[in-house]
Amino acid sequence: MRHQRSGKKLGRDSAHRKALYANLTGALIEHGRIKTTVTKAKAVKPIAEQMITLGRRGDMHARRQAVAFLRSKDVVHKLFTEVALRFEGRPGGYSRIVKLGPRPGDAAEMAYLELVDSPLVFKTRLPREETGAAEIEVAAVEAAEPEAAAGVDDAEAEAEVAEESEEPSAEAEPAAEADESQAEDEPEK
């Protein structure tokens, strides 16, 4: 029976598992967001939050404990000087897990493990039946930069005027395509 045996084994022995947790925690502190499986993210999240709590304490003993676990003085320095200051007023809950769906190779459930002070990013797709491709691009630009959206509308209007003026030359395009297809059929010498 596994009574009082918490934690996942992840198919590794204890030393390999400890190294995995240390590496994933260090990568999270260094980069702010990592992409991993949901099971690994759930296992690493409490460890990463403990390390950030050590960083918030800020004393020498906490620094030595962090170095003993993370094994990288550079990551510990960033933890104590940058990451801990960002979470100074927060009592806990420093990270979140955002599920991404199955991985293409083996269908493992993937997720982002990220620090909560980074913005939450969602992918949204507009249906193609309701809007054209140009409107999707404009919607994406308006969502990203509202100030630049007005300039995009003017550029689209100019592009539509240019397309209307090119309509008479549409008959010349099939002839040019035929010349290109003949050139592709001939072997180069």
Q: Are strands 33-37 and 109-115 parallel, antiparallel or unpaired?
A: antiparallel
**Token duo for residue 17:** 């598992």
Q: What is the pTM of this model?
A: 0.63
Region(s) of the chain under CATH 3.90.1030.10: 14-115
pLDDT of 145 over the 80 cut: no
* Whole-number percent of the chain with pLDDT over 90: 58
Q: Confidence class of residue 134 from pLDDT cuts 50, 70 and 90?
A: low
CATH superfamily of domain region 14-115: Ribosomal protein L17 (3.90.1030.10)
pLDDT of 181 over the 60 cut: no
Question: How large is the average pLDDT for residues 92-112?
Answer: 96
Confidence (pLDDT) at 2: 84
Q: In Å, what is the CA distance from 77 to each residue of 59, 66, 83?
A: 12, 10, 9
* Burial environment of residue 93 by CB neighbours within 10 A (0 to 12, 13 to 18, 19 or more): exposed
If one compares 127 and 96, the residue with the highest pLDDT of the two is 96
Angle at the Cα of 84 (from 16 to 115), degrees rounded to 5?
Answer: 65
- Mind giving me the DSSP string for 17-41? HHHHHHHHHHHHHHHSEEEEEHHHH
pLDDT of 148 over the 50 cut: no
Q: Confidence class of residue 188 from pLDDT cuts 50, 70 and 90?
A: low
pLDDT single digits (tens) 114-131: 999 866 666 677 666 655
